[in-house]
Each structure stands twice: as structure tokens, then as C-alpha cells.
Structure 1
Amino acid sequence: MSAAKRILILYTGGTIGMQMSADGLAPASGFEARLRAQQALEEDGDQLPEWRFRELLPLIDSANMTQGHWLAMRAAILAGLDEDDCDSVLVLHGTDTLAYSAAALSFLLLGLPQPVLLTGSMQPAGVDGGDAWPNLFGALRMLQLGQRPGVQVFFDGRLLHGARVGKLRSDAFDAFTVLPRQRHGQRAEQLPATLDHRQPHHAVRLAVQPLYPGLGAEQLRALLDSGVAALLLECYGSGTGPSDNAELLAVLSDAHARGVVLAAISQCPQGHVEFGVYAAGSRLQQTGLVSGGGMTREAALAKLFALLGAGLCQAEVEHWFALDLCGELLD
């Protein structure tokens, strides 16, 4: 946890650098100059670590985030660390999908020895009393103090685990928090070489489906027949579902038999999956579902993306999905 001496700042867009356009606030270039001008006004500006600035073009509103952007962020981070000789990374990101990207980078950068922080803001830089400059310079100061390897989010004065964070509010500066979900499971003793941050990844087709009263087998079949490699099923409570619907259970079993990865998390904000508590959960598990424990939707989706995107087969994905890789399952 040595203090940062040269930081890579990767600007992806988002509210923090937006400026007014004819259609409303939109991502804008030129943020590096604004940042340097503001640093000169900061009380400790001349004491902050040196930094290098990169833009991930095209800049986007994070509502437009895709897996391709996650892969581009990973590539830009690795290139910046190598080419600019940086020892820490700060990613400037929009808030709508910041938790998804933090989780994705947590799994795409497994084994990276340098710390990575993500931050953004609820209001654009330059707004009086806004949170943009406090978040950005607060993140730089955190890196200056020295941070452990891995991905974290810095927001509203707090450091938050990248694979546990979630956005709870859309209209307040303290928009993000670590969700209080029960954490249990087994930690992976050693990561396979295929999951190392240097290994290539590719995009995969994923789906998320919450269970709800009235979900029909034909609806679930249409989703699973659309070519998805994995389905993240958001179950009730501790991992229950409509166990008396034989047709729906058969749809899940058939999909699993042909190689689709089936994973389960709880819909409850403070929930976790424990299939054996209820018979309804046990019957659901028998279709091939693997438990996501107390993982958030963001973490579980990102983990499936990283495992399948690394080229792992169904059995390998299920094995590693159930183990803690970077703190997503265990404190």
C-alpha cells in the first residue's frame, strides 16, 4: 500500500464532465484542462501526486454502458499503467452504471498489483456546492495515502468495495453504499491463469430475469432460447421460486442440459441464497442453478461476464462462480 506517485486518470464521460448542449447535459471533452485549472485552486493542489490523463473515446453517458466499454476500460487501464508508468488508476465514470463497471473491473483485473478507484458525481464539475471536485480530489488524496490492490469506489468521502457497491439514491450525494447482504462461502485458494488480468476476454450474451408471480414458462423459454450463455435468476427470499410449476422447472433444466449457465441471487436488498432452507429452493436448485450467495446483481452479472468471457466452459464457470474471487462473497 505504497503512496501513489503517478496516477492514471481515465475519463470515460458521465455527469462529472458534462456540459450543457441543445438537448441537455451531455459528455464533453476538454476535461483535463478544467481539472488542471481546478487543481491550482485546491489548497493542497501542488502536493498531489503527478497524473496522466486519458480519454476513453467516444465519451458516453454511462446509461449507454456496454460490455464493449468494460473491455475498453480494462485495455486502457493496462495500457496506461504500462506506457505511462503509472502506479495507481482513477476512473471517472457516470453514476448510472458505475456499480456495474466497478464490479466488472473487479473481475477483469484480478491479480492486478495496482489499486483502481472509480468516482463520479451527481452534479457536473463547476456547480456551486456540487460534489464533482470533492469526489475527484478526494479520490486522488486516497490514492496518495496508498491503497490496497483491487477495485474500489470513492464517493461522498467513503471508500466502497468495487464488487459489493450499489447505487441506492438518484438525487443525493451519498448515492452509493456497500449493500448489507449476508456474506458466506469459500474463498478460492488460487486463481487459474485463465482469469488473470492479462488474459484476453470477449463479450458474451447474458440475461437477468427476476421471478414474479405470474411469470410463465413460455416467457422464460423465449429468453433462454434467444442465444444467451447464462441466465441470472433473481429469486425470492433465500432462493425460492415457483416449485409447483413443472413446465417452468423443465425449461430451466433443458437450458442447463444444453450448456446454459444458470445462476441465482436473492431479490431482497439484504438477502442471500441458501437453497436448502425451503423445499421450493431445493427443487429450483435441482434444475442446475448455482448459488450466488449474497452477491449483488451487479457483481453476479459481472462475474458471469468475466468467467464466460475468459472462455471457461459451463462446469468451470459454475465452479468459480460459487467461490469468492475478490471479496464479492466474503468480507
Structure 2
Amino acid sequence: MRAVKNLLVLYTGGTIGMLQTAEGLAPAGGFEARMREHFSACGDAPEVQWSLRELNPLIDSANMQQANWLAMRDAIVEAVERDGHDGVLVLHGTDTLAYSAAALSFLLLGLSAPVLLTGSMLPAGAPDSDAWANLIGALNLFESGLEDGVQLFFHGQLLHGCRASKLRSEAFDAFKALPRHRDSERAPSIPARLDYRQPRQPVKLAVLPVFPGLGAEHLRGLFDSGVQGLVLECYGSGTGPSDDQALLDALHDARQGGVVIVAISQCPEGAVVFDTYAAGSRLRDTGLVSGGGMTREAALGKLFALLGAGLDADSAEHWFALDLCGERA
């Protein structure tokens, strides 16, 4: 851990900097001036030196796409390697904040700088907003020292970038890292193919919960759309409709065709342990890879980083099963 001396604030949009329009709150530029005005009027402004860059275009995080993850990754790497920043604070909307934190955790493996994401439930100009508390708290963390890697700060909590989820849509303490079973050995090192310098490409991914009535036709329709990876949210410890042979065949055929299918628990405090029930074992035998106690956000972000790096299905499954940055262990 070390104190950051030259911080980049990367403003991507989101509620924290939104202004009212005729259609409702929308992302707005000029947030650096608003920050500096606020800090000049407050007596306990952080002393860390910072500059701000606005990502173009600014977006409501509900519109977040893989291309935006890649743009954030590029901006962060450029800030550290070209511009000499030794830390990056990302201001982000809350709807997909946990997804971006997870994705960046894998896109920035090996980067020698701390990256912290924060946002707010109310805009910075709103009465009783949480924006300034979250922003000042994040800046204070950079001043006191942070470990390299990606983390999320919200409502006084510092959370691992791959362990956080948004659990509330209105309360200020919207993000939590719930206890989830951890079961994987740590990768001995990060391969060059997964290093932050490795370019990534967009990937066709999907997330699908298991539910009563899920049929083979649903799965085959999804696989026929060309998805390269699927996060399957199973019941409890990794179970599903194991007496539906057509559904099992659809999963097996997709895996044989090169689709990577990973299983996580749809329970907020659950984990996949296939061997607990026969229903889980039959799913595993179709070719599913256990995500253990990984969150949906972490599983999706990791699949994106692995397949986006050009790994084939077997290699992607190998690295998915190992802990790369604390997401599984």
C-alpha cells in the first residue's frame, strides 16, 4: 500500500454528475469545475493532487456495454503508462457499477496502480446527496494508501472489485459483499495472454437463470444466436432440471460446439458444489464449469476477459476455474 501522489479522476457519467433535464436526470459535463468549487468551500477537502478526464461520451450506466468497459480500460492504462498517474478513481453510475468493477478487475490484471470505483445514489447537487461523502471518502483512501488492483468504495465501505453486488435500489448503502463459499486455488501467476496489456475484443455473452419451465428450446434458441459464453444461474448448490434429457443434451451439444458454460448459484449467499446432489452432478456432466461462489458480475466479467483475449474454450475453462485476483479464493 502506498499513498497516491498524482491521481486521475475518470468521470464516465452516472448519477453523481447528472443534472436535471426536461426528460429527467441525464449525464452532464463540467464536473471538474463543480468538484473544485465544492472543495474550495469545504474545510476538510482531501489534499491528494488530482486531475479529471471526462470519458466521451458520458453515459447513464444503464447503457453500459462491453465497448465502454474497453474504453475505460484504455483510459486507465493510458493514464498510468503514458501520463504518469499512480492511481485512478472512476466515477460511475450505480446500475452497473459492480459489473464494471468486476470486468475491470480482469481487464487490468498486473497493472501497478490502485483503481477505485465510486458513484452515488443522488446527484451531487441534490439536497442530502451521498455524492460528496462517497467522493471525499474515496479521495481520502488514495491519500492514505491503497493496494494495487480494482476496488469499489460506497457508503463508507471498501469492497473487493469482484465480490460486490448492488442489493438496494434506493438506500445509500446499496452495495454489499455477501459471504460466498470460496473454493479455488490461486493461479501461480498471470499468463501474458491475460495481462492488462493484452488487447480484448467484444464477446457474445449471456446470463440465464434456471427457472421452473426452462426448456431445451429456450437454450437452443440462445445458443443458435451465436453466444460464445453463458453464465447459467442454477438453484442452490448448482442444481437444475436434471430429469429433462433434451435440456441436458442442449447443454452438452453447446459445449461440444465450443460454447463455455459456467454455473453459479442464483442465491445471494450461495455457491455451486455440483456433487452435493445428483441433480447437480448431471448438470456438471454436460460440460458445465463450476463458478463456486462467484457473483454474477464476476462470472460475466471474467468470461468477457478470457474469451475476449482470444482463448479457446478449453483454455478459458482452465483459467476460469482458477482464482486470478481474489474472485474465487
Task: State whether TM-score is above 0.5.
Answer: yes
Deviation at 1:167, TM superposition (A): 0.3
- Give the 5 Å matches for 1:299-310: 299-310=298-309
Tell me if the contact between 1:52 and 1:84 (Cα under 8 Å) persists in the aligned partners.
no
Task: Output the CA distance in 2 between the equivalents of 1:238 and 1:121.
Answer: 34
Q: Distance in 1 between matches of 2:178 and 2:42?
A: 33
DSSP 3-state at the match of 2:122:
coil
The answer as to 2:217 corresponding to 1:247 is no
Which residue does the alignment assign to 2:158? 159
Q: CA deviation at 1:42?
A: 2.5
Superposition deviation, residue 44 in structure 1 = 3.0
- For 2:224, the equivalent position in structure 1 comes to 225
* Residue in structure 2 matched with residue 316 of structure 1 by the alignment: 315
Distance 1:193 1:11 in 2: 29
2:129 aligns with 130
Q: How far does the alpha carbon of each residue in 1:176-197 deviate from its partner, in whole angstroms, 9 at most, with x for none?
A: 0112211121111111100000
Deviation at 1:126, TM superposition (A): 1.9
> d(CA) in 2 for partners of 1:31 and 1:240?
47
1:190 alignment partner in structure 2: 189
Query: Following superposition, which runs of at least 4 residues in structure 1 exceed 3 angstroms of deviation?
Result: none
| TM alignment of 1:1-331, pairs within 5 A | 1-45=1-45, 48-330=47-329
CA distance, structure 2, for counterparts of residue 38 and residue 277 of structure 1: 55
Rounded to whole Å, the distance in 1 between the matches of 2:288 and 2:164 is: 24
How many Å separate the matches in 1 of 2:276 and 2:286? 17
Taking the aligned partners of 1:219 and 1:177, their CA distance within structure 2 comes to 32
Q: Which amino acid aligns with 1:220?
A: L
Query: 1:169, 1:192 → 2: CA distance?
Result: 37
Secondary structure (helix, strand or coil) at the match of 2:25 reads: strand
TM-score computed with the length of structure 1 as normaliser: 0.98
Letter in 2 for 1:233: L
Amino acid at match of 1:87: D
C-alpha distance in 1 between matches for 2:291 and 2:120: 30
Give the Cα–Cα distance (whole angstroms) in 2 for the partners of residues 188 and 85 of structure 1: 29
Equivalent position amino acid for 1:242 in 2: P
Distance in 1, Cα, partners of 2:127 & 2:257: 56
- Tell me by how many angstroms 1:80 deviates: 1.4
CA distance in 2, matches of 1:267, 1:83: 41
Backbone CA RMSD of aligned residues:
0.8
Q: How big is each residue's C-alpha offset from its partner over 1:192-219, in whole Å with a ceiling of 9 and x where there is no partner?
A: 1000001101110001111001111111
SS at match of 2:41: coil
What do residues 1-55 of structure 1 show as CA deviations (whole Å, max 9, x unaligned)?
111111010000000000000100000001010011111122232x511112111
CA distance in 2, matches of 1:154, 1:232: 26
Could you give the per-residue CA deviations for residues 209-236 of structure 1, whole angstroms, max 9, x where no partner exists? 1100111111110001110001111001
Paired AA for residue 3 in structure 2: A
The answer for unaligned runs of 5 or more in structure 1 is none
Size of the aligned set, in residue pairs, is 329
Query: How far 1:82 moved relative to its partner?
Result: 2.6
The 8 Å contact of residues 206 and 228 in structure 1, kept in 2 or not, is answered as: yes
Query: One-letter code of the match for 1:249?
Result: L
- Distance (whole Å) between structure 2 residues aligned to residue 193 and residue 93 of structure 1: 29
Distance 1:179 1:228 in 2: 29
- Aligned partners of 2:81, 2:19: CA distance in 1, in Å? 32
State the TM-score, normalized to the length of structure 2: 0.99
Query: In 2, Cα distance between the equivalents of 1:97 and 1:147?
Result: 23
In structure 1, what residue type is equivalent to 2:127?
D
Structure 2: 5+ residue runs without aligned partners? none
- CA distance in 2: counterparts of 1:106 and 1:220, whole angstroms: 29
**In 2, Cα distance between equivalents of 1:204 and 1:93:** 22
Say which SS state the counterpart of residue 184 (structure 1) adopts. coil
